[in-house]
Structure 1
Amino acid sequence: MKNKLLIIGASGHGKVVADIALKMKRWQSVVFLDDDENIKTTMGIEVIGKSIEAFELINDYDILVGIGNNAIRKKIQENLETKGATLPVLIHPTAIVGEEVCIAPGTVVMAGAVINCCTNIGKGCIINTAATIDHDNIIGDYVHVSPGSHLAGSVKVGQQTWLGIGSIVSNNLNITNNCIVGAGAVVNIDLTESGTYVGVPVRRV
């Protein structure tokens, strides 16, 4: 781990990531990269260049991809991994993380989130504000669990799935890769086919 942090993306999600980094007090300095040339600073943090420049800074910074889109985040993080970048895990000080929880590199756990014991969280995930993930969950790579979402025990979520704000997943269920679960939806069956699901209970659309 290095003493400087570089965040790729200075928009909404990136700003929340930066706020977590500042509250962690782990890094002596935090900077952004962003492809919007009109953004020079945000939250008082300097934007020092474009995202492509991350590959020139791998030896000097820990790097976190602060982009909300799962597919874009995956592409950038995997490119960084192939170049040997150091990808930290960011956990807000108010989050609660249980025993025997494994969180892979590039994942962010936001304010008020709860991850209970014996859960595995994949690479590049977003566990957003006040989301709860109960015991023995398996969350695949590049999943976004939106604010206020609640997963009961022994849930498995496939990679690049997005659980919308306030969604609920009952216990002992499996959600396959590349699903979108709409805001406020209730998942009470296995989702075995990729796609978009909405409603209470969910239906595929």
Structure 2
Amino acid sequence: MIVLGAKGHAKDVLVVLNETMNETTDLTFFDDYTKPEEALFLGKYPIIHSLDDINFSDNPEFVSAIGFPKSRKYVVEKFIDLGGVYTSVISKYARIGSLNVDIGEGSNIMPFAFISNSVSIGKGCLINVSSNIHHDVSIGDYCDISPGASLLGHVKIGDNCEIGAGAIILPNIILGDNVTVGAGAVVVANCLTERTIVGVPGKIIK
């Protein structure tokens, strides 16, 4: 299996993969930003540096370990065009509701995340450690929910949003596409355009 990325978030994803994958599964990491002489990730796993070296003949599955949403989407789409199958990584230590839960392909659900019932999570999302997604929440594609962030009931966020560590989005709030919420912010009002929200209570800045 190929893992996209060989930087910081890849180290976290590897923890989850080691929880869940078969012992016979071979992992290879892809990172075209690393130097060619960096042949191994963490001194153990081979690194592929070029798309020309990708071969899905043995196993078409790949997972993402790229932290930045727009970069993740860009690389994922290239791998899908090459015939790859975008696959989710879900920690066995996450708490996920069993009713009306839809998790899009390629999502990373990290340890101790809480996902309630009646929740929709889009393609390629990162639901990070100890984040909380409460009932009737809808999350678009390629969003990042950082460690300790909480989305309370009936929140809806668009595509490519980044919710900072420890941020709180109050019930019934709607965020549009490409909205960034700063760490520790408390979002008290809708934001339907591409903006950044910071502070307590949250204020919209350009």
Q: TM-score, normalised by structure 2?
A: 0.91
Aligned match of 2:113: 113
Aligned match of 2:30: 33
TM-superposed deviation, 1:45: 3.5
Aligned match of 1:172: 172
Q: SS state of the match for residue 77, structure 2?
A: helix
TM-superposed deviation, 1:84: 3.1
- Structure 1 segment 63-78 matched on structure 2, within 5 A: 63-78=62-77
Q: CA RMSD of the aligned region, Å?
A: 1.6
- Structure 1 segment 33-182 matched on structure 2, within 5 A: 33-35=30-32, 36-37=34-35, 38-53=37-52, 56-61=54-59, 62-99=61-98, 100-182=100-182
Figure out how many residues of one structure are paired with residues of the other and give that number.
200
Where do 5+ consecutive residues of structure 2 fail to align? none
1:142-166 deviations in Å (ceiling 9; x for gaps) = 0000000001111111100000000
Aligned match of 2:2: 6
Instruction: Give, in whole Å, the separation in 2 of the partners of 1:164 and 1:53.
Output: 35
> How high is the sequence identity, in percent, across the aligned residues?
34
Aligned match of 1:18: 14
- 1:10–1:42 CA contact under 8 A, matched in 2: yes
Q: State which drifts further: 134-143 or 57-66.
A: 57-66
- 2:38–2:47 CA contact under 8 A, matched in 1: no
Instruction: Give, in whole Å, the separation in 1 of the partners of 2:90 and 2:163.
Output: 19
Instruction: Give, in whole Å, the separation in 2 of the partners of 1:60 and 1:137.
Output: 38
Q: TM-score, normalised by structure 1?
A: 0.91
Give the counterpart letter for 1:189 in structure 2.
A
1:35-92 deviations in Å (ceiling 9; x for gaps) = 21243323453123115246x3233331112111111101111222333311111111
Give the counterpart letter for 1:114 in structure 2.
F
- 2:108–2:126 CA contact under 8 A, matched in 1: yes
Q: In the superposition, relative to structure 1, how do residues 186 and 87 fare at CA in structure 2: closer, same or farther (>3 Å)?
A: same
Aligned match of 2:201: 201
Q: In the superposition, relative to structure 1, how do residues 34 and 79 fare at CA in structure 2: closer, same or farther (>3 Å)?
A: closer
